[in-house]
Chains A and B, each alone.
Chain A
Amino acid sequence: MPLSILLPMVGLGIAGIAVILHLLGLSRAAVLGDEAAARAAWLRECPDRAPRRIILSHDRHAALIETDAGPGVVWAMGADTTARPLKDARIRRTARGLCIDLPDFTAPHIRLRLDPDEAAQWPTHMKDSA
């Protein structure tokens, strides 16, 4: 197929599908319904680190996890979730909450949307459980 046809078709196809998905409401972030859901999401990624304490964010799109091996975080990745221990993390306040920088190429910047009181408290919890 000539590139003059292939390239526009691929470009328009990708853009069109993305727009349709967004208009269908399929861009919503995953919600952690309760602590049990946050626990399950954490254990799905880190089965050997049982949570000692779970703090859900007010919007329930993330949770701070305290374990005997140190803190971690679960957060929405689109309609799903993922999780990371916070070893060697650098935590920054942002206008919308926190940004956690990790030495992890697959999750270098975890941007959490938190209320101001949460954004103030979570770094303390992270240090206390480290």
Chain B
Amino acid sequence: MSDMITFPDVVNWAVPFFIAAILAELVWIAIKGRGGRYETRDALTSLLMGAGNVASGIVLGFVAYGFFMLLWAITPLDLGTSFAVIALCFVLDDLRYYWVHRFGHRIRWVWASHVNHHSSQHYNLTTALRQTWTGTFTFMMVMRAPLILLGFHPGMVLFVGGLNLIYQFWIHTEAITRLPRWFEAVMNTPSHHRVHHGRNPRYLDCNYAGVFIVWDKLFGTFVPELDSEKVDYGLVHNLGTFNPLRVAFHEWVSIFRDVTQPGLSWRERLNYCVMPPGWSHDGSRGTSFDIKTRYISDHPELAESPGFQSHDPRG
């Protein structure tokens, strides 16, 4: 078995590129007077979240890596490290990313980690770096287990995951409107991902893709960006703080408060962890499905338009 294989930590090596690209986007916006917005505290919070993500990876990365190496030790399969295998691993890992990301929006326990990425009301390259500090606690590393058990080396799986994250960096921009039609049809683009960051009822819970938008088209979660409806970025209930600690942990605190309130059954306590964000035992809150349903009741003429077509409450 190829135990001693090493792959570069591409995300860390991309840091200079991230900084240069942010400065380039900022210069572009300043010169052109369009193509996005920046605000000091928002950007600072995003960048600190990114730094915290790297730090949490250094501190807690051993948990996932140990799990992956354990799987590697027990699997009898080894696909090697040819270019074709790395390319196949990249595509399959992107499918893995699609489902992890979809779970991240539909299971509150996973949303608690991912929510901070959506907590900015801006959409620029710093937003891409507003990443979780608590991903380890979602246990979503199990979604990589099939790849390793199939014979893809753990180092390779982490390497292609890093490439996936780097790809997603540049799509967090308003400076690029639309790309050639063939590219928009296959790849995740700034336009597709702007929709994903929208808090408009139409744009909630869609476009989960990392690199290839074809997964959303395949699984019925694709919504195009409409020129008639500008994306409103942020959360359904926007934060009232720029404090990175509150940004990182607020949904975990909220889960804790919900789960520990008196008078609930154990099933209700569990549901506060695993049901979609917005679920409540007494129906006093609203999930994305509830929000869409209410919106359609106020605007029935939009019922079959993108984002509202037969929206499935099960996610």
B246 touches A105 (CB 8 A): yes
Number of residues of chain A lying within 8 A (CB) of chain B: 31
A13, B19: Cβ atoms under 8 Å? yes
For residues 36 through 68 of chain B, which have their beta carbon under 8 Å from a beta carbon of chain A?
Answer: 37-44, 47-48, 51, 54, 58
Q: Give chain A interface residues in 4-49, CB to chain B under 8 Å.
A: 6, 9-10, 13-14, 16-18, 20-22, 24, 26-27, 44-45
Nearest CB on A from B294, distance (A): 8
Select the stretch in B84-92, B232-240, B273-281 that faces chain A.
B232-240
Interface presence of B16 (CB below 8 A): yes
A26 CB contact (under 8 Å) in B22, B40, B54, B121 = B40
Q: What 0/1 pattern do residues 40 to 64 of A give for CB contact below 8 A with B?
A: 0000110000000000000000000
Residue B304, interface by CB 8 Å: no
Roughly how many angstroms separate A125 CA and B253 CA in the complex, as a whole number? 31
Contact yes or no, B23 A20, CB < 8 A? yes
CB proximity of A7 to chain B, nearest CB, Å: 9
Is the pair A6, B12 in contact by a Cβ cutoff of 8 Å?
Answer: yes
A104–B251 CA distance with the chains assembled, in angstroms: 11
Does A95 reach chain B (CB closer than 8 Å)?
no
- Nearest-CB distance from A58 to chain B (Å)? 21
Known A-B contacts A20-B23, A106-B239; the reply to A9 vs B43 at CB < 8 A is: no
Question: Which B-chain residue is minimally distant from A46 (CB atoms)?
Answer: B237
Query: Which residues on the B side are within 8 Å of A75 (C-beta)?
Result: 240
- Hey, what's the 0/1 contact readout for B227-259 against A, CB within 8 Å counting as 1? 000001010011111100010011001100000
Contact of A80 with B by CB under 8 A: yes
Q: Does A77 sit at the interface, judged by CB under 8 A?
A: yes
Residues of B within 8 A of A10 (CB): 15, 51, 54
Asked if B241 and A80 make an inter-chain contact with CB atoms under 8 angstroms apart, the answer reads no
Interchain CB contact (< 8 A) of A82 among B39, B238, B254 = B238
Beta-carbon contact of B250 and A13 below 8 Å: no
Contact (A78, B15) CB under 8 Å given A105-B250, A106-B241:
no
Residues from chain A with Cβ under 8 Å of B182 in the complex: none
B-side contacts of A6, CB under 8 Å? 12, 15, 54
In the bound complex, do residue B240 and residue A21 qualify as a contact, i.e. CB atoms below 8 Å apart? no
**B41 touching A27 by the CB < 8 A rule?**
yes
Contact residues, A99-130 vs B (CB, 8 A)? 104-108, 110
Which one of B51, B58, B234, B254 lies within 8 Å of A105 (CB-CB)? B254
Q: Is the CB of A82 within 8 A of B51?
A: no
Are B48 and A1 within 8 A (Cβ)? Answer: no
- The answer to whether A79 and B246 have CB atoms under 8 Å apart is no
Whether the Cβ atoms of A17 and B22 lie closer than 8 Å is yes
Q: Is the CB of B16 within 8 A of A79?
A: no
Please give, as numbers and ranges, the residues of chain B lying within 8 Å of A77 by CB-CB distance.
Answer: 121, 238-240, 242
Closest to B236 in A: A45
The 7 closest A-B pairs by CB, nearest first: A107-B240, A79-B39, A80-B121, A27-B40, A13-B19, A78-B39, A21-B40
Listed in ascending order, the chain A residues whose CB lies under 8 Å from chain B are: 1, 3, 6, 9-10, 13-14, 16-18, 20-22, 24, 26-27, 44-45, 75, 77-80, 82, 84, 104-108, 110
Could you list which residues of chain B lie within 8 angstroms of chain A, going by C-beta atoms?
9, 12-13, 15-16, 18-19, 22-23, 26, 30, 37-44, 47-48, 51, 54, 58, 121-122, 126, 232, 234, 237-242, 246, 249-250, 253-254
New A-B pairs, 11, CB < 8 Å, besides A45-B237, A80-B238? A10-B51, A13-B15, A17-B26, A20-B26, A24-B26, A27-B39, A27-B40, A77-B121, A78-B121, A80-B234, A106-B250
